[in-house]
A and B are shown apart, each in its own frame.
Chain A
Amino acid sequence: MHSFGKNFVKGIIRSNPTFILLLGLCPTLAVSTSLDNAVGMTAAFLFVLLVSNIIISLLRNYVPDRVRIPVFIVIIASLVTIVDLMLQGFVPALSKSLGMYIPLIVVNCIILGRAEAFASKNGVSDSIADALGMSVGFGLAIFVISFIRQLLGTGELDLFGRSLFTIPGLSDNPVSIFMLPMGAFFVIGTLLALFRWMGVSKGE
């Protein structure tokens, strides 16, 4: 039980996939324009990482070492296809707004990285903890970025059509650059600098 907690916690802050390891940035930056997208992407990511970690850790003694990477990729790609079809079927609007970033989870370095570095060497319960921790870390990062971008870029926050709150003056004249792609670069660059300044992560 001790190792379960340890493996869970490490993904959240100490080796946060986005802010500390700087892995899998493509979906994080691309879809972080609204909280809806953040929820959808985190859910898809959690499912793929959790199931792939479980399967790979179960198979770890049976897969020959030389073909392990292709095997991992096929497992991950099949899971991503499942998620893609489920989203298209149940939440078509969300699937449309996430677009091709859902199938692109296949080449997300975090998922293959966890398979190779963790799940293929550890037991099932540790792998589950690792997947949950990494997903929470990933979700946290994408939520923070989406929150800042949506708030400043549109002046209001809403989640699945329900308005959470509005900043009076800002919603008429939003800082629309935050909704543009370059806004994402600005937000993550500033956040990384902030974390260094606060001493959460190490500088160079």
Chain B
Amino acid sequence: MSNLLAIFLGMALVNNMVLVKFLGLCPFFGVSKKLSSAFSMGIAVLLVMLVASGVTWPVYHLLLAPYGVEFMRTVIFILVIASLVQIIEMAIKRTNLTLYNAFGIYLPLITTNCAVLGITFINIDQTYSFLESLTAALGAGAGFTLVLIIMSGIRERLGLADPPKAFKGTPIAFITAMLLGLSFLAFNGMV
């Protein structure tokens, strides 16, 4: 149990997807302008990460590894994720239209989110068990959502601030990300 907790916290805080591993930077800078959309994006990524990890783990260990075709994982995983996103999108559209509208464009965009593909690779590279993979995905998704929400809160305030003209917009967002990363450095000794 403590092992799972360590993986969860390690993924969410210490090895944060965005700030330490640089995965999922496109949505991090693209969608973090408003708090509400940041939250939707974060939850959508969390959901897809969880399902993708749950599917790619058996695919790798029961299908690719026994036949010795591990090198096919890049091709197989991206196809699995692309179809999963499509299926999840259709399922949500059928069952909960409000949620579907809340996710909007963000759900299909997740296919090309490197954080999702990244977490499936991490699960395999770290030789996590099935349960550990799910925990890692949950932690990574939670960490992603957390920094996305923090970032969007700061950027809403930044809109009122008055940085030097050249820094307005994206450059100051990068500097903000740097400071955010510095503060996350404090979690380093935790796990």
Instruction: Say whether A181 contacts B19, CB under 8 Å.
Output: yes
Instruction: Say whether A26 contacts B20, CB under 8 Å.
Output: no
Residues of A within 8 A of B (CB): 22-23, 25-27, 29-30, 70, 73-74, 77-78, 80-81, 84-85, 100, 103-104, 106-109, 112, 177, 180-186, 188-190, 192-194, 196-197, 203-204
A194 nearest CB neighbor, chain B only: B166
A197 nearest CB neighbor, chain B only: B166
Question: Assuming A30-B22, A106-B74, what are 8 further A-B pairs, CB within 8 angstroms?
Answer: A30-B21, A73-B79, A73-B82, A77-B79, A181-B181, A182-B178, A185-B181, A186-B178
Instruction: Say whether B22 contacts A84, CB under 8 Å.
Output: no
Q: A73-B78, A81-B72 are in contact. Are A29 and B25 (CB under 8 A)?
A: yes
Instruction: Say whether A193 contacts B166, CB under 8 Å.
Output: yes
Q: A77-B75, A103-B74, A182-B185 are in contact. Are A192 and B23 (CB under 8 A)?
A: no
Instruction: Say whether B79 contacts A81, CB under 8 Å.
Output: no
Q: A70-B82, A188-B174, A189-B175 are in contact. Are A104 and B29 (CB under 8 A)?
A: no
Does B154 touch A at the CB level, under 8 Å?
no
Instruction: Say whether A103 contacts B121, CB under 8 Å.
Output: yes
Instruction: Say whether B74 contacts A182, CB under 8 Å.
Output: no
Q: A100-B125, A109-B26 are in contact. Are A77 and B74 (CB under 8 A)?
A: yes
Instruction: Say whether B181 contacts A196, CB under 8 Å.
Output: no
Chain B residues closer than 8 Å to A74, beta-carbon distance: 75, 79
Chain B residues closer than 8 Å to A190, beta-carbon distance: 171, 175
Chain A residues closer than 8 Å to B74, beta-carbon distance: 77, 80-81, 84, 103, 106
Does B129 touch A at the CB level, under 8 Å?
no
Chain A residues closer than 8 Å to B171, beta-carbon distance: 189-190, 192-193, 196
Interface residues of B in 99-148 (CB under 8 A from A): 111-114, 117-118, 121-122, 125
A28 nearest CB neighbor, chain B only: B22
Closest beta carbon of chain A to B59's beta carbon, Å: 15
Q: A182-B181, A185-B174, A185-B181 are in contact. Are A106 and B117 (CB under 8 A)?
A: yes
Task: Choose among A23, A25, A203 the residue that contacts B166 (Cβ–Cβ < 8 A).
Answer: A203
Instruction: Bin chain B's interface residue count.
Output: 35 or more
B178 nearest CB neighbor, chain A only: A185
Instruction: Say whether A196 contacts B166, CB under 8 Å.
Output: yes
Chain A residues closer than 8 Å to B125, beta-carbon distance: 100
When each residue 153-184 of chain B gets 1 if its CB lies under 8 Å from chain A and 0 otherwise, what string results? 00000000000111111111111011101100
Chain B residues closer than 8 Å to A80, beta-carbon distance: 74
Task: Choose among A22, A104, A106 the residue that contacts B170 (Cβ–Cβ < 8 A).
Answer: A22
Chain B residues closer than 8 Å to A103, beta-carbon distance: 73-74, 117, 121
Chain A residues closer than 8 Å to B175, beta-carbon distance: 185-186, 189-190
Task: Choose among A26, A85, A184 the residue that contacts B71 (Cβ–Cβ < 8 A).
Answer: A85
Among A22, A77, A182, find the residue whose CB has the most chain B CB atoms closer than 10 A: A182
Q: How long is the Cα–Cα vector from A190 to B177 in the complex, in angstroms? A: 12
Chain B residues closer than 8 Å to A112, beta-carbon distance: 112
Closest beta carbon of chain B to A157's beta carbon, Å: 22
Chain A residues closer than 8 Å to B19, beta-carbon distance: 181-182
When each residue 19-43 of chain B gets 1 if its CB lies under 8 Å from chain A and 0 otherwise, what string results? 1111111100100000000000000
Chain A residues closer than 8 Å to B79, beta-carbon distance: 70, 73-74, 77
Q: How long is the Cα–Cα vector from A177 to B178 in the complex, in angstroms? A: 10
Instruction: Say whether B121 contacts A22, CB under 8 Å.
Output: no
Closest beta carbon of chain B to A177's beta carbon, Å: 8
Instruction: Say whether A22 contacts B166, CB under 8 Å.
Output: no
Chain B residues closer than 8 Å to A25, beta-carbon distance: 22, 25-26, 29
